[in-house]
Amino acid sequence: MLSDEEIKKLLKAGDIAKRAFSIAEKIAKPGARLLDVAERIERYIMELGGEPAFPVNIGVNHIAAHYTPTPSDSSVIPDDSIVKIDLGVHVDGYIADSAITLYYNPIYEPLVEASRRALEKAIEVVKPGVRASEIGRVIEETIKTHGFKPIKNLSGHGLERYTIHSGVVIPNYHDRLNLYRIREGVYALEPFATSGAGLVVEGSLVTIYALKPTSRALPGSTRTLYERIYGSRKTLPFTPRWFIKNPIDEEAVARGLMELRNLKLLLEYPVLIEKEKAPVSQFEHTVVVTSREVLVTTL
């Protein structure tokens, strides 16, 4: 059962996430550098007293998830594009996870409305005892009613302290094999809609990582990097650019991550791309379920 203090921290994280989106909507315009957008949002989260729960994800067009800009990324938001901004905030490890889709061509409005409406409908049915598969059914039916497909291999998830994915899966389709029933806890609901195959595949690029906890003795420079990252992130996702201050840093961090990968202490989050490279929309909110009520912390 969540304590009043824990709920207070979850609500604060959600409030910061809401306010961060006000900045995102102002600065994420065609021509804006992706790196500038991500870093400005992350700074604003910290200015408000939170910490990023993961690097700001910016998914342009067919990129569905897990892309955050690198220090050398000079790309900008294209004209006539559709862009997902997925951000997380934590306060003392208590997480709010939320996403919006922005679009710069009216052709994308129906696709955006499909995932937006699916999220609204999903929130309406969340309560203790409801099957996760029922939430998925509502999401799938809503998206299909709008003429699109849900992305079946992306899902909502449980949230725990310092843990983005607790192991609980909230599907975006009617997955009859998912027998989980909603109980008191924290969940992120995130419908993805597409005009493509309804599946994502992994790209070759990785810009987001997380550490695995370990008590093993590590070699000097690797231990230093591990402790530097783990000290601020624990097992929450991070991006190398947060730990790079100059070109020498960049080389050392890249080498250290390779060593951590070889030691099997590094989780990698490859960029996820719609299988047919079709455009994708996404909306996400965090819900806190108690015996008394359902709180949408990011709404």
Greatest extent of the chain over all pairs of C-alpha atoms, in Å: 57
Residue among 15, 190, 274, 285 flagged as catalytic: 190
d(CA 23, CA 5): 28
Residue among 62, 157, 274, 285 flagged as catalytic: 157
By C-alpha distance, which of 189, 248, 233, 261 is closest to 53? 233
146 catalytically annotated: no
Amino acid at site 281: S
Residue among 6, 120, 160, 165 flagged as catalytic: 165
d(CA 237, CA 65): 13
90 catalytically annotated: no
73 catalytically annotated: no
Residue among 86, 140, 175, 274 flagged as catalytic: 86
4 catalytically annotated: no
Residue among 97, 113, 175, 274 flagged as catalytic: 97
190 catalytically annotated: yes
d(CA 284, CA 299): 9
d(CA 29, CA 285): 23
**239-274 core/surface letters (b: 16 or more CB in 10 A; e: else):** bbbbbbeeeeebebbeebbebbeeeebbeebbbbbb
Catalytic residues: 86, 97, 157, 165, 190, 284
